Amino acid sequence: MKTFPLKSVTLSLVLALILVSCGAPGAKKADKDINYHDVLSGIRALTEDLPADVSKTEARRYLAGVQKLLIPVSETADNNDLTIVPVNVRTVEAEYIAQKVQYLGNVGGNPSVVIYPKLTDIMTDVSVENGDYVRKGEVLARISDATVRTAKAQAEAAWFSAKSQAANVEVEYERMKQLFDANAISRSQWDQILTQRDMAKAGLSQAKAALDMAETQLAYAAITAPISGYISNLAYEPGDMSTPQKPFATVHQIKTVKTAIHVTEDDLGYIVPGQRAEIRVSTYPDELFAGRVENVSPVIDPMTRTARVEIVASNENMKLKPGMFARVDIITQERQNALTVDKAATSKRTVLKRFGENLRDDRVVETYSCFIVRDGVALEVPIEIGIQSKTKYEVTQGLSAGDRVVIMGQNNLSDSTLVTLVE
């Protein structure tokens, strides 16, 4: 005949009744007519008389006796006393956790340079298109140089004239110097030749400066790339009138990209250059691009109350394009081997605490707790938290590695509630 080991089951029932006799929170006090110790003694007596292995008939007779003893308790006590709540748990383990701040920004080249024409004249040739890769110094377009070429010719003629005049004055100076040394001319005549010599030198310098200016203006007729990169925002075609107020194009260097975000005052104190950042774009929703904080503006915009922060990321595969809309997570703090708990598993309460003798010393503080399961009982334990991620808290006090934290079903629990674990 088939037998059943029931002593272990009975011991669990006895433990449950002991907890009931101590009173679970939220349960109303049992009637005085019910003596829990007598009930336990009866169950213990039945158990002691039970052999290690029993027949099916003996097992049913034993369970009927236990049930008879429990009927008065179940009818008199609060229903919650004997309720066993199903819960799901997660074992506390040491793991990595990072606290982040998230902002939105636009991807740009590093650097991105806007090119402006420096002459006002007809655009005679445009040799690039949007998307073209250009190298530093490469000619991108040409502006009509007829006017500045004429100006250069005039400047050259003026420079040659000033140079000849300065040479003649220098010859006259040497001749007059000999006469002055021989006391053959007056002091006023000598001062006059000195003045003429200084004026000739100044005129020569002025003419040389005008010639240099004309040559520079002539060089401006060719628009060149200031850096190597890709062309965008091309605004001119051949025949257009160029003007220094209208940009010609933008050149982006995109082997590395720079994303600018604007951070509020509340988060600014947590951000410093060198921190790691994570960049996401809609074009590649499943891909994460690593970056770092390069610059934090020391000035806050009084209109927006934000400060500009620049994040630089490597872009060797050229996936990030200037102008993309980016979501940036800056890792402000991180911990290795930290004990963590799911935010959904915690309970947060706001309490007023006094930190001094006066009312003005009262402060509103937040306290946290969670439920852990030990020996089939859910215990509410207070915890201290550290940094937090999007879904988890770092626990600095209150939990130990290996504790089983209730992550589902905790809304039905109070301290010392009986529970059963489910997957």
Count of residues making up the chain: 423
SS3 78: coil
Other C-beta atoms lying within 10 Å of the C-beta of residue 153: 11
Give backbone dihedrals phi and psi of 144, rounded to 5 degrees, phi first.
-55, 130
Q: HSE-up of 256 (CA within 13 Å, CB side)?
A: 12
Structural tokens at position 238: 């051949």
CB 393 within 8 A of CB 368: yes
Cα 177 from Cα 172, distance rounded (Å): 8
Query: What pLDDT, on the 0 to 100 scale, is given for residue 76?
Result: 57
DSSP element (H, E) containing 95:
strand 94-109
Helices (runs of H) and strands (runs of E) counted in the chain = 6, 22
* Residues 422 and 88 sit within 8 Å (Cβ to Cβ): yes
8 A C-beta contact, residue 270 and residue 101: yes
Query: How do the pLDDT tens digits run along the chain, 423 residues long?
Result: 444 454 554 544 444 444 444 444 444 444 445 666 777 787 778 777 777 777 777 777 777 777 777 776 666 545 455 578 899 999 999 999 999 999 999 999 999 999 999 999 999 999 999 999 999 999 999 999 999 999 999 999 999 999 999 999 999 999 898 988 888 888 999 999 999 999 999 999 999 999 999 999 999 999 999 999 999 999 999 999 999 999 999 999 999 999 999 999 999 999 999 999 999 999 999 999 999 999 999 999 999 999 999 999 999 999 999 999 999 999 999 999 999 999 999 999 988 877 777 767 778 888 999 999 998 889 999 999 999 999 999 999 999 999 999 999 999 898 888 888 987
Strands 417-421 and 377-388, sheet pairing? antiparallel
Instruction: Give the C-alpha separation, 197 to 108, whole Å.
Output: 57
- Total Cβ atoms within 10 A of residue 81: 22
First to last CA, the chain: 34
Contact call for residues 207 and 162 (beta carbons, < 8 A): yes
Q: How far, in Å, CA of 127 to CA of 223, rounded?
A: 10
Q: DSSP character for 195?
A: H
- Alpha-carbon distance values, 153 to 44, 206, 212, 397 (Å): 120, 15, 11, 84
Closest C-alpha among 111, 107, 155, 99 to residue 136: 111
Q: CB–CB of 320/281 below 8 Å?
A: yes
The token duo for 252 is 């982006």
Neighbour tally for 338: CB within 10 Å: 19
Q: What is the pLDDT of residue 45?
A: 81
- Cα distance between residue 415 and residue 395, in whole Å: 20
Give the side-chain half-sphere CA count within 13 A for 65. Answer: 17
How much is the pLDDT for 37? 72
251, 112 in Cβ contact below 8 A? yes
| 0.75 exceeded by pTM | no
**Tell me, what amino acid is at 379?**
L
